[in-house]
Structure 1
Amino acid sequence: MNIPPISLAALTWAGAASGTTAQSWRIGTVLSARPLGVNPQGLLILRIGALTVEADVPNAQLPTQFQVRVLTLGAQPQLEVLSQPADRTFQRVLRERLPQQNGYAPLLATLGALAQRPVLRQLPPELRTALALLEQSLRTPAEITRGEGLREAISRSGMFFESKLLGPQGDTPALTGDDWKGALLRLAGLLDRRSAAPPPPSRSETEPPLLQRGLQAQPRLPVPTMLAEEGAEGGVGLLLDQLHGDVKAALARVEVAQLDASASQLSAWIIEIPLQGDGGRDVLQIQLEYVNDAAEGGHGWTLGFALDLPALGPVQGELQLREPRLSVRLWAEQADTAQRLERQFIPMRQRLAACGVLLDQLSCQVGLPQAPGRHSAVLLQATA
């Protein structure tokens, strides 16, 4: 089995990785690798940088020389096998952004709290305008439940901001107020002028890009402590520091997703869409992948989604479209949510039949699916 152009490897640190050798293993670092042979147990011996490891690669073939990029550190660092030499600028930017990124939920919680508190009136007018533009870039459930509305939400998710700027109709002021990344950049610029960039959120491990993690439903977060406490409205400086960190982390999140999609050899994207939900803000994750099945001579699209709503709990879904055939699989963490979804199956079948779609499968399971390895996973064990 050939290793796909981009694959993940989970590395177990051993004694050989705990000394000076491990200093070269930093987020975003690209290391040279080559196979050395096979040990008596049938494990492939690899040389990665200055470290020798044993790899369990069933029925796989690796080139005589290749490169890997360090995606995460920790007990089991993840490595990305590169199909071609890595661009130095790409390495540097990815290395900077990965530790800075965080999900949208903290920012959305801060925005929701700000909108309901008198402290908003104490902010400078230009900041209030930038916050209003960011709020304006949030989509509504009514918009994303229509085909055209979902298409527009994906287009304005920040993933395609620069490409739209380069287009013939590129209008920077309009895009800044209409695109999620554009609105984040405007607000981040104003906050940068106020103070130096805050340190990235502290975590024990740096999370890999979205494509490597797969879909993950993200719940709402509670109001930040400083905004929930009595009399916190007077701490405008602390509030702006909190907002600054949330905006920078969300902006890094968009840029890591853009970098990951541009470097991927697959026609696949994971896009996050912030939503103005019922009584709060939510995050919809959408995974799009173009599938070309050479064996069967067919092609089509796979659309996955993940969403965590207060009334339903975490829900995930996968739609496989091979025109005119469609397969739909849903998962719900809560049993009552699965029952509510199943009650919608009859009208859903009727609507699909009216559109000329042949439904091969429609199911809903209790419990969330295990996040699939987006790329082949290889367990490497370092030897002394």
Structure 2
Amino acid sequence: MKLPSGQQSPTPPAPATPRPTQTNEASQPGRETIALSARQQLDQIQLANRETILARVAEVINRQGSGSAEVMLEVRGKPLQVNAAIGATELTPGDWVKVMRAGNELQLMGKLAATPEAAITKALAQRMLWQQSLDSGLAKLMTALNRGLVPELKPGQLPTARGLQPLPEAARLAIETLLARLPASNTLAPGAGNQNNSVQQIRQWIAESGLFAESRLTQTPSPALPDLKLAIGRMITSLLAEQGGNPATSFNRLMPLASPSLAQAPLQFPQAVVPAASSEPTSVGQTLRMLAGMLNRITVNQLHSQILTARGGGDTPAPTSTLLMDLPWVTPQNEPKLAQLRLEQYKEESSAKGRNEKRAAISEWRLNLAIDLELAGALNFEVSLRQHEVSARVWAEKQETLKQVNEELPLLRRSLVELGLEVTDLECRRGSPSYPTTKLEHRLVDTRA
């Protein structure tokens, strides 16, 4: 196996054997019990023979002589204690290692290198299974705003004796400000895309999506900036302050609440539409866990974008930069929905006519927008812009919507021409497009001395 640096892969260290709950080395039946226990543990984490997987070092329990140690690994969210012969490999809690099942043993193939891409991959792996869908989370926040929160049970208190408590003032203000700035579906009429106020609204919508929170803070260091990610942080701080104690320490102890669809396919674009959230009030603890999951969702989009951008610019046709984001909006019935956006830039050098002429970089922008409307159903838009040439394709799942979109295409063509663009292709198709699925690549370091 070749490493990205071009060096040969290191010889794998001695295998790590899952530690059984009972051992008996004095007899043959005891050895069978050990093998059965190890096999059962590996089967429980659904790891097939010769399959490799990324595991997190949760704890180095006991470092023994001759380079061996007892290590607690987290594999697919489940703990697995192993006796590992790791040689001179430095393993510390939080490290990510690549392991392979070989019969009833695990072989340590290597660990993530300390490179910027590896750090992003590690952060992404830690968060991607703990994402809460933003639309369902916003629906719960609307309920909390209108009806309040269920207070936590106190010792000796019966559930029936509890009443709803209002949100803390700071949290209420953050939610009200956030919801007031969400775009509504009836604010953008067909054909209004070339109007300055509509363009400005869309720019604001994207800028405040949370994807650019950190870069905006460096430009304007104010925590009161209108931004989805910063607003969630203000809500969390306010709720934790009401509970007493250190907000930072308390937040780190929270287990984020995850949406099932995001846990099953954490890096998929677009994500499947999730059912509407229950309108029942939640407790303070449940709300904090939900907010933590929403924060993870935005952070995953940020890290996912960085991973895809880091892979671009090679010999194969790949985007040199990629942005993935969720854009919340509300229906006329004040129900939160999501539009999912993927924006990619492709760069290539133009051919120079003369020997001394410099080659200019030509950019092609590709935009994919996925949205699910109550009456029209699921719609996907693919737009490509290369200098002054534009092409667009619309995908509709409903036959009635397909017919309606085809009737509106002349208006879309006219609007694009009025913007000074040359329309090369414009069509609508039935169904939905297919998008590539991101697979995390793990760069390894030599695990020997």
TM-score, normalised with respect to structure 1: 0.68
Greater RCO, 1 or 2 (C-alpha within 8 Å, sep 6+): 1
Q: Distance in 2 between matches of 1:19 and 1:261?
A: 23
**Local SS of the residue matching 2:385:** strand
- For structure 2, list consecutive stretches of 5 or more residues without a partner in the other structure: 6-45, 57-72, 78-93, 103-108, 150-163, 244-249, 313-320, 352-360, 442-449
1:289 aligns with 2:344: yes
Residue of structure 1 equivalent to 2:237:
189
Q: 1:98 aligns with which of 104, 122, 128?
A: 128
Report the CA distance shift for 1:324/1:67 in structure 2 as closer, same or farther (over 3 A): farther
Partner in structure 2 of residue 162 of structure 1? 214
2:391 match: secondary structure: strand
The equivalent residue for 1:216 is 271
Match of 1:60 in 2: none
CA RMSD in angstroms, aligned pairs only: 3.9
Pick one of 324, 327, 337 that aligns with 1:270.
324
Query: Whole-Å Cα distance in 2 between the matches of residues 201 and 121 of structure 1?
Result: 22
| d(CA) in 2 for partners of 1:206, 1:118 | 28
Q: 1:309 to 1:337 in 2, by over 3 A?
A: same
2:389 to 316, 325, 348: 325
Q: Is the 8 A contact 1:305 1:316 kept in 2?
A: yes
Select 1:364's aligned residue among 394, 406, 428. 428
Question: SS in structure 2 opposite 1:364?
Answer: strand
Pairwise CA distance, 1:342: 1.4
Q: Displacement of 1:192 after TM fit?
A: 2.7
Cα drift, residue 92 of structure 1: 5.1
Runs (5+) with no aligned partner, structure 1 = 6-11, 32-47, 53-65, 70-81, 228-237, 378-384
State the partner residue of 1:109.
Answer: 139
Inter-partner Cα distance in structure 1 for 2:438 and 2:125:
21
Q: Which residue of 2 aligns with 1:353?
A: 417
User: Which amino acid in structure 2 is aligned with residue 250 of structure 1?
Assistant: M
Cα deviations by residue, 1:288-335 (Å, 9 ceiling, x for unpaired): 100124598742100110111212211111100012111101111111
1:172 to 211, 223, 237: 223
Give the CA deviation at 1:91. 5.3
Aligned residue for 1:15?
49
- Percent sequence identity is 23
Distance 1:294 1:153 in 2: 32
Q: Where does residue 256 of structure 2 map in the other structure? A: 200
Equivalent residues of 2:52, 2:100 under 8 A apart: no
Indicate the residue corresponding to 1:78 in structure 2: none
Question: 2:283 is paired with a residue of what secondary structure?
Answer: helix
Q: 1:240 deviation in Å?
A: 2.8
Corresponding residue of 1:38: none
Change (3 A) 1:337 1:219: farther
Aligned partner of residue 122 in structure 1, secondary structure: coil
DSSP 3-state at the match of 1:343 = helix
- Stretches (4+) displaced over 6 A: 18-22, 66-69, 118-121
Q: CA deviation at 1:116?
A: 4.6
**Alignment: residue pair count:** 310
Query: What is the CA-CA distance between 1:249 and the residue it aligns to?
Result: 0.8
